[in-house]
Copies of this chain bind each other. A is one copy, B any other.
Amino acid sequence: MLGGHGQFVADHAAGAHHVAFLRSSEPHAVITRIDTAVAARMPGVVGVFTAAGLGLCGVPIPSLTTPDPQFTAATSCVLAEQRLSILASDRVHYVGQPIAVVVAEDRYCAEDALEAIEIDYEALPAVTDPESALQPGSPVLFDHLDGNEAARLRYSFGDPERAFAAAAHVVAGTYRMNRHGAVPLECRGVLAHFDPRRQRVELTTSTQVPHMVRNAICAVTGWSRQDIKVSVPDVGGGFGTKANVYGEEILLAMLARRTGHRVIWVEDRQEHLVASAQGRDQIHRTRLALDAEGHIVAWADDFVVDIGAGSLWVAGIIANTAIHLLGPYRIPAADIAGRAALTNKTLVAQYRGAGRPEATFALERSLDAAAAALGLSSDEIRRRNLLTDADLPYARPIPYRDGVPISYDGRDYRACLESVLESLPRDEMTPCAATHPQYRIGYGLSCYLEATGRGPHETARIRLLPDGHFEVTAGAASAGQGHETVFAQVAAEALAVPMEQVCYVPGDTERLPDGVGTFASRSAILAGSAVHKAAHELVELATGRAARLAGADEADVQYTDGRFHVAAEHSVSWPELARAAALGGDQESGGALDVTAVYRVPTVTWTMGVHAVIVGVHRRTGIVKVLRYAVSHEGGREINPKIVEGQIIGGVAQGVGGALFEQWRYSASGQPQSTTFAAYHLPLSTDLPYVRVRHLHVDTPVNPIGVRGAGESGTIAVYSAVACAVDDAVGGGFHVDSTPISTGEVFRALEAS
């Protein structure tokens, strides 16, 4: 429901003390001195805390990832132990890393106090290039490691070496997707206070993963689960950067308890651009082998992920990339290797797609290079390789990250290509050219395949309220995805009651002590299925109550149309059950009609789609403008078509940003150079055309509500589709190999042609 009542975390600042962080100005250095004495004496300052003062010297942000052993074995996956400190005390690893924290009566005092903290550094050589970082002889970031490798994996199947040797065509490339990320409308924000009645800290944080935040706080502080309650406020966008657990969240919890004050920290934009987890930043070195007709015979990729000074999600990102490198194509042999490198940059987390856009870019660009070499169109090369109804379901000889062997559960991926070609025909280039004579027009395509709905589980709770309405909660937190609407719909449908009788309330770690979170296009599937399951369990529980109330046998009670039918002419309603369970009712001592369900998904379900785009490349400047855009995708049941469409369109917008504008640049010495929106360019609404979305409904058997994830799929194929179209527009063999697409390179190519 759109009520205009949303609030930012900063709207809750009344009565709170403000927290501000002193952050490292150095990319890599030893801290030789921190003196907080002057700052601590400043008026309005409640306290200045360092790692030493909080007992946090050397204490790292706890790790989140526990990779599946079957996947680990199949991919020879090795993870290094990460030890990025919550507060740096002896060494800093990136510009923006928190070193000290001030609690003050207001933000002004807090910021002034930051400037009064004296700190001396002894600079160390900064590591900024991920490939160099992995070379022997590179400076090493962390003493407990031999080098800067944070993770590695490798898998192969078929006989790639023989296939490469025998292939009619082999195209090789190096593809780079530069560092960019979520940049939500609302930066991060955390509010915490100590409740003396319950002797616990209550923390409100703009997170996608409240239970992980709770677990991390408990792990660091040694508190039990009752000592901390984590709630999620309205969140102005997450997109993965808020699926991280941050040191700031742990610190606010500690400071609330330590100072006894209500404390708030609201990240400002400049801070956000160096302190919140960033995304992408991958280099892929690829080889694609094809037969004379353009059928893929082998595929090899060796990629490196730059995770900055750390990533709690490194296992997920590297695995996601490796798995999605195979795309929706028949690939008989592959050799995939990936590594993650530690560098002196801001940490990296999953960002909408989380490895999938990078993998898709490498594969789709390779296909386009092959098409050019074979003289095939961008649709024909794909048509020849896409899986069809004859192939599907299609098994891959590797397990997914949940250990279950991969099997694509789609219907006909080639039909999806034909759908988008019908939705946005190449012919439309002609009217585009006529309308935009100053642009060279190009047409681009990209397929994608996305594993959605990652497990292992999610929780949901439904309780019957005193007037017969229902309150629904799920473990997955909303960052603006419309959980309030969608989960109310799922519950209303499962309960066969009008949606007005269902109120979705956001979960917290008290209401639902266990939960996972919102990421990996999983909420509708996992939490939706958990809500569905809870509704059925509630009906089951209530059927017994209704039977007793009616004096009937439970087996004779049928639940239909929102009522418990005992006989043709007699039925029991939910309000009657609520009254019976209330004080003075016949079933007063029967316990609440309140069910918490856990839904476990066996494995992911796969969403496939194709993006088509027409771009214009400005003849004089090389500036790229997206003129037409279409998405066709094999989705599951749409609980709420408007929300699915909104996810796709929003995803396209973020993809266009990444393809054309967004980049966190660093100097060679590791200084961030994109610390304002003047330097980090976000797409404007005028950079986006209308997006034509075609939803090809394909049931999935993996979950009871037939849903496939769509939260990230809008983004994944945008980079490669736009690159394909720019190639087409520029012509002359021009081939985009990195994003954001360089206007300078395009300009020089136009000049040369």
Contact = CB atoms under 8 A, between A and B. Distances in A.
A505 B583 contact: no
Contacts of A14: 14-16
Contacts of A12: 15
A222 interface: no
A90 to B, nearest CB: 34
A100 to B, nearest CB: 27
Contacts of A465: 225-226
A419 interface: no
A641 to B, nearest CB: 24
B588 A225 contact: no
B198 A503 contact: yes
A595 interface: yes
B513 A3 contact: no
B503 A199 contact: yes
Contact of A583 (B224, B226, B457, B592): B457
Nearest to A597: B589
A306 interface: no
Given A459-B583, A466-B513, A505 B225 contact: no
Contact of A197 (B196, B224, B484): B484
A291 interface: no
A582 interface: yes
A591 interface: yes
A310 interface: no
Interface in A466-506: 466-467, 469, 484, 503, 505-506
Report how many copies the assembly holds. Answer: 2
A173 to B, nearest CB: 45
A595 B225 CA distance: 20
Given A226-B469, A466-B513, A503-B198, A589 B598 contact: yes
B199 A513 contact: no
A467 B226 contact: yes
A227 to B, nearest CB: 9
Nearest to A506: B197
A595 B588 contact: no
A570 interface: no
A454 to B, nearest CB: 17
Interface in A545-591: 582-584, 588-589, 591
Contacts of A642: none
A514 interface: yes
A144 interface: no
A13 B262 CA distance: 13
Contacts of A594: 592, 594
A654 interface: no
B196 A5 contact: yes
Contacts of A592: 594, 596
A216 B505 CA distance: 25
Contacts of A13: 15
28 contacts: A5-B196, A12-B15, A13-B15, A14-B14, A14-B15, A14-B16, A15-B15, A197-B484, A197-B505, A198-B503, A198-B505, A224-B466, A224-B469, A225-B465, A225-B466, A226-B466, A226-B467, A457-B583, A459-B583, A466-B513, A513-B582, A514-B582, A514-B584, A537-B589, A583-B598, A589-B597, A589-B598, A592-B594
Given A12-B15, A14-B16, A226-B465, 17 more contacts: A3-B196, A14-B14, A197-B505, A198-B503, A199-B503, A225-B465, A225-B466, A226-B466, A226-B503, A466-B513, A513-B582, A537-B589, A588-B598, A589-B598, A591-B591, A591-B595, A591-B596
Interface of A: 3, 5, 12-16, 196-199, 224-226, 260, 457, 459, 465-467, 469, 484, 503, 505-506, 513-514, 537, 582-584, 588-589, 591-592, 594-598
Among all A-B residue pairs, the 9 with the closest Cβ atoms: A14-B15, A5-B196, A514-B583, A14-B14, A224-B467, A225-B466, A226-B465, A3-B196, A466-B513
